[in-house]
Structure 1
């Protein structure tokens, strides 16, 4: 086991760091002020991106800093999961960098689904423009009427009628659906089959968002912020009809596809959390050195030095655990690394939440404003403790695997 990067990985990481230093960091604060000015409320129909985003994407693509997450060297960087993890950490320091490099969720996960499980027709129609950054996508799974921590509770249906699939259901927290470039949804729903297992009765279906019966009802604010122009929508599907060819991998394959989708994505999320935690720690130290109270730098008051030490320990522990999970996925596959994947999904967002909370406290009033990225990082951390499975579900997975090692069935 080793975490050293190949020469190719080192080159990509160095160039990502340079691009972020030279092109993203100098303009990011202004970029988010422009976002707020262009998108002042939850009316997603009028949302738009500042023009500089497309210019930065073009620069990144021209420098071959594009689709860095993609393990296929013909379609992206061709890096291993462990190598890309280091890049994800760097992009996590910025709220806009993942989009600039076409490495943003949920598109990376959706592209991976199409790349691994999509038909050639599906790839040509949807994967190609997603890889080019011409369109965006959304994953519609969570539902408001049920406890979505147990995905088998899903009430939305995908029923085959002749050569069509009829879709009905209500989804929410459909992240990215407010983006003006969002064109395609992956809709996960129940496809009843009395002969199939409990986890063999759900399907993923490609649904163009302009299909009759698809209606975005509203955008949901996260701690009062609509996250424009990305957004998290509540969407209804009423007698939506699409061709049977829009099944991904076939009916009943939803859960097996989801496991393949979520493994690498959780590495990406967790390493971005670690990058955000590093940025928060840097902001905390800078603030503590620049401000004085009661005749001393803030860092010398109230146990702040101990908090910095605690943050450093926690971040490094989280990074090592996540890199180990990434290495194990590369070495033996996703299913052999289920304990580690679940562990990092608990650890990394909690570490980010802890470090950001410390940084907010040291910033005082500025910490809860939009003058720093801290509030956005906090929302990211707290949301990720629910997204892709809440903490409790992942702890349950870990416990089940550990108990099974003792030949006890649970």
Structure 2
């Protein structure tokens, strides 16, 4: 099939590559000329394991994927258009400005297109958005009717940053929210490579809700693990033993049941905030999720508290920070606990060196937006720890296991699973008994 993906962020680039991998002819649409130029050279503008190699094959060798600035041309040249633009957090609410802009553009393109075209909302939007915003704009600007002249579908993404390419090619599930059989049939054809057991067929609004329900449950599970780890710290218990034991229960599973300095990234923080706000507007509040947000907002302080418990005040100390991305194997530092930690340390007059295998550029940009320019960004972990009085490791990149034995000053790690603190006299971890 011929498919266009509108928006070339994490969702757009990875899903476009996944579709082209399965033989579709794919066009990626973006408004940024630099992104389009880079993608047409087979170079991704984000870091995801395996993505660059896949793009090189699809763009340069097979020539089944290309990028363009021309939305109208892309819609006219394809059978399906997937909206993959961002829906950022705007004061605890979802910002639909990019969605609205794209819906208008696709609507204008559909006005002069004769063939039936399916418009798919891939972006995360609160329940009711596809029908009450996207569909309204599509009909208004095209002069056509959904279900008759064009199709509308909600197909949420469930990519985990760091393993997004694998999730795109081998998804756990595929949710298709439609309102007419023709659109459902076309979407099933798009995913012809997937076995039927992978599919969940629902209405459009239910598909929107499923995305939020999954993300809010996983955020709750992470927060549950953090709350228990905080208790274990106070009670002198190894949280890893407790969490691994309950994760062995088939009803619970070990996935996302791991303590740390808090969740971050492009999905969980904004999605939980958005659905909390949606519940408040509908006078059906998510009380549990309100607490999840509150707990996560201050979870990073437990790593600071651990350092101060062992060293006294850390104000005006020389601090090395290893890991800036919100999780390993990604360059995404959005809502990263590491950046919250840095903001706090700057307020305490600390001298900060920072290093991350992939997150340096985005972290620097985001911190400078907050007018935080006091951070020295190093080219290696070795440079980062040199002359430091203490080291904080909020993100558990596997390569940091090699540097920890070389550190001689107190080191505080956010994820107990990175190393066994008992193997090192200078290492302390959240969720581990106090020594």
Given the two structures, how large is their TM-score scaled by the length of structure 2?
0.25
Q: Which has the larger radius of gyration?
A: 2
Given the two structures, how large is their TM-score scaled by the length of structure 1?
0.26
Q: Which has the higher helix share?
A: 1
